[in-house]
């Protein structure tokens, strides 16, 4: 074929075909990210990671917030939702440092959790210890299950 000597195409080696698709996908991701105003780096995921559990009377939220101080947190609750927002600050190690790996992120974050049932916003309690935020959300009386006796 005449195109192969000049352009190296088509190349029929099986393993490299998928490598080329992967390379093109990464380049398109970078291009579309830059055009949309997003940074070209990949996000580490949703922050903070949290668990939401419940029992008969309460919801419990436990969130991992390493390096976040209590004064940098804001928690708001309304009706059926709770919002956790704040900022994680990481001190600069050295302005002339050459990073080999940089995975710790700093910056502002916000999570909004829909609980599905009413909570008593006046009695919400929160505590931060060892990088774990624990929020106790009492259910509103009308949201608690009612015991019905069978006659």
Q: Evaluate if residue 103 carries a pLDDT over 90.
A: no
Neighbouring residues of 113: CB distance < 8 A, sequence distance ≥ 6: 50, 52, 61, 81, 82, 83, 84
The model scores a pTM over 0.75: no
What does the mean pLDDT of the chain come to? 80
**Domain residue ranges in the chain:** 3-35, 50-91+106-143
Topology of the domain covering 50-91+106-143: Immunoglobulin-like (2.60.40)
Residue 136: what pLDDT?
96
Yes or no: say if 112 and 76 are a contact pair by the CB < 8 Å rule. Answer: no
């Amino acid at each position: 074929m005449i195109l192969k000597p000049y352009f190296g195409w088509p190349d029929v080696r099986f393993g490299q075909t998928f490598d080329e698709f992967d390379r093109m996908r990464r380049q398109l991701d970078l291009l579309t990210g830059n055009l949309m105003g997003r940074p070209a780096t990949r996000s580490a995921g949703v922050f903070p990671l949290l668990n939401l559990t419940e029992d008969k009377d309460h919801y419990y939220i436990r969130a991992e917030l390493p390096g976040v101080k209590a004064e940098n947190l804001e928690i708001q609750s309304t009706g059926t939702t709770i919002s956790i927002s704040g900022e994680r600050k990481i001190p600069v190690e050295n302005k002339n440092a050459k990073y080999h790996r940089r995975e710790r992120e700093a910056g502002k974050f916000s999570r909004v959790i829909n609980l599905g049932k009413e909570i008593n916003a006046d009695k919400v309690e929160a505590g931060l210890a060892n990088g774990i935020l624990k929020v106790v959300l009492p259910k509103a009386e009308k949201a608690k299950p009612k015991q019905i006796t069978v006659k």
